[in-house]
Amino acid sequence: MPVVNYEKYCEMLDNAKKNKFAYPAINVTSEVTANACLEAFAEAKSDGMIQVSTGGGQFASGVALKDAALGAISIANHIHLVADKYDINVALHTDHCQPGKVDSFIRPLMAESKKRIEAGLKPLFNSHMFDGSELPIKENMDIAVDLLKECKELGLILEVEAGVVGGEEDGVDNEGMPAEKLYTTPEDMLYVYERLSSVEGGRYMFAATFGNVHGVYKPGNVKLTPSILKNGQAAVVAKYGEAASFDLVFHGGSGSSIEEIHETLEYGVIKMNVDTDTQYAFTRPIVDHMFRSYDEVLKVEGEVGNKKKYDPRGYLKMAEESMKKRVIKAVDDLRGRGTTLGI
């Protein structure tokens, strides 16, 4: 396939929920980082998700353009081409998009998907995340409902968030956020279900917050309360039945213990975003290469250096391999190894 269609994507999510594992959704910013993900999923025999944020899209379009939608289109087209050479399934997703960026990011990408569908192709992206957590929950869901209607028409899935993920990522700074904002209440979860379920046939994922914090922290420094997910799911199921149970998303997982991660899988988490750890894994071998080869990557004191050492292909291959290994670890941490549905 292997960039999935709507039916296969739904099958992926259902498979994860039924078997209590989750897909690592890896943020990428380039062809190299996308390739690392595809290699990792194939080696681990796991289907997976690759996602692009607004900042990632801006970077991919080049420092002169900083066009988030254009960069996301470029990365997605690369993945559509290369993924066909692998024997696992891949879903393409866009990460946090705040209300002020919907018209410049999500909607142009939806328009691109519509053009592809009309030409007999699969949509460009399989799902999009609207992050309206900065808004009062009614305004958040007002926008989310409209987007879900648009997604449904194109065979796309929408991810939403209620509550705030702390820390800083991709230029959005929630440092110092009041503690109560970091936890989604059962009442919030009921409200989200009631609003989104009004879109008959629409499919969505929900990033409920339970103390999550973007960034990098030592284990134990992020105070998660996974029982919030359990209690919220229970409230929804008690009122509307088992079919109402959410497909949950775990944001801000860096520094979480493996026990906490596994606990969330019991409560319906089927997707976990991974960015900070893969950024470090990509950068670490480049730093090592530059320190070890300082006088060869630079033309020091009139010398010519060593082209083999400063050719970017050399150290980017090492970065790609290192990131691949970290993605495989994410697959294993989320109990996803060997779970591919096949193509």
Question: Which residue is catalytic, options 14, 84, 87, 95?
Answer: 95
The pLDDT tens digits of the residues spanning 170-194 come to: 554 444 444 555 688 999 999 999 9
pLDDT band at 164 (very low <50, low <70, confident <90, very high): low
The pLDDT tens digits of the residues spanning 268-314 come to: 999 999 999 999 999 999 999 999 999 999 998 888 999 999 999 99
pLDDT at 167: 42
Whether CATH 2.30.30.30 fits 6-286+322-333: no
The pLDDT tens digits of the residues spanning 21-76 come to: 999 999 999 999 999 999 999 999 999 999 999 999 999 999 999 999 999 999 99
Overall average pLDDT of the 80-101 stretch: 97
**295 flagged as catalytic:** no
pLDDT at 181: 58
pLDDT at 179: 53
pLDDT at 117: 98
Residues contacting 231, CB < 8 A, separation 6+: 186
The pLDDT tens digits of the residues spanning 103-113 come to: 999 999 999 99
- Give the Å distances, CA to CA, from 139 to 144, 247, 336: 9, 22, 36
Write the single-letter amino acid at 180: E
Between 334 and 171, residue with greater pLDDT = 334
Domain ranges of the chain: 6-286+322-333
The pLDDT tens digits of the residues spanning 194-240 come to: 999 999 999 999 999 887 665 554 554 457 888 999 999 999 999 99
* Helical H segments across the chain, by residue range: 6-19, 31-44, 54-61, 68-83, 107-118, 137-154, 186-196, 227-240, 258-266, 276-292, 294-297, 307-310, 312-333
Between 162 and 326, residue with greater pLDDT = 326
pLDDT at 140: 97
Overall average pLDDT of the 109-122 stretch: 98
| CA dihedral (76, 23, 94, 193) positive or negative | positive
